[in-house]
């Protein structure tokens, strides 16, 4: 009998921002800080942009089992300007940091204008971290 190929799929974790308590619902005890998620150099750069703590739905998404260590895919929905890109950005930066020097990643965006905007944002964010970005 022929050997079957290994199953390389990972489980999915999902969150819908509308199902997570908002910051107006009272104190949030399980909110993640940026410092808990990325390197000190990146934490400093996010702080300059006044990003220090995640929204409740972002924290809930990243605290799902196996998401932060990359053993599970993350599927999430949120309204426009709710912070979806930041979640993807954090996960991407964590993978790059874990992979070490020479690691590469692809960040796909739906519109060319967003690519230019995100490339500029990444360039500023990564300044002085030893990481680089390019957008086209």
* 44-82 residue pLDDT tens: 999 998 999 999 999 999 999 999 998 999 999 899 889
Note whether residue 39 is domain-resident. yes
Note whether residue 77 is domain-resident. yes
Q: pTM of this prediction?
A: 0.77
Note whether residue 113 is domain-resident. no
Note whether residue 135 is domain-resident. no
Cα Rg for the chain, rounded, in angstroms?
17
Lowest mean pLDDT among 12-26, 72-86, 106-120, 121-135: 12-26
Q: Domain residues for 39?
A: 12-22+29-101
- Which tokens in the block code for residue 10? 């990972």
The H or E element spanning position 121 is: helix 112-126
Q: How many other C-beta atoms lie within 10 A of the C-beta of residue 30?
A: 8
Q: Burial-class residue 133 by CB neighbours within 10 Å (0-12, 13-18, 19+).
A: middle
Domain total for the chain?
Answer: 1
Note whether residue 124 is domain-resident. no
Q: Is 90 helix (H, G, I), strand (E, B) or coil?
A: helix
CB 105 within 8 A of CB 118: no
């Amino acid at each position: 009998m022929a050997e079957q190929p290994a199953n390389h799929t990972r489980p999915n974790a999902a969150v819908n921002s509308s199902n997570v308590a908002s910051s107006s619902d009272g104190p949030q005890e399980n909110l993640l800080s940026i410092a808990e998620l990325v390197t000190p150099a990146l934490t400093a750069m996010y702080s300059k942009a006044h990003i220090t703590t995640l929204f409740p739905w972002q924290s809930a998404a990243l605290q799902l089992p196996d998401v932060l260590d990359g053993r599970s895919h993350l599927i999430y929905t949120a309204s426009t300007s709710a912070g979806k890109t930041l979640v993807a950005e954090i996960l991407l930066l964590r993978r790059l940091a874990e992979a070490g020097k020479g690691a590469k990643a692809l960040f796909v965006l739906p519109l060319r204008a967003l690519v230019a905007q995100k490339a500029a944002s990444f360039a500023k964010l990564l300044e002085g971290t030893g990481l680089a970005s390019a957008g086209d």
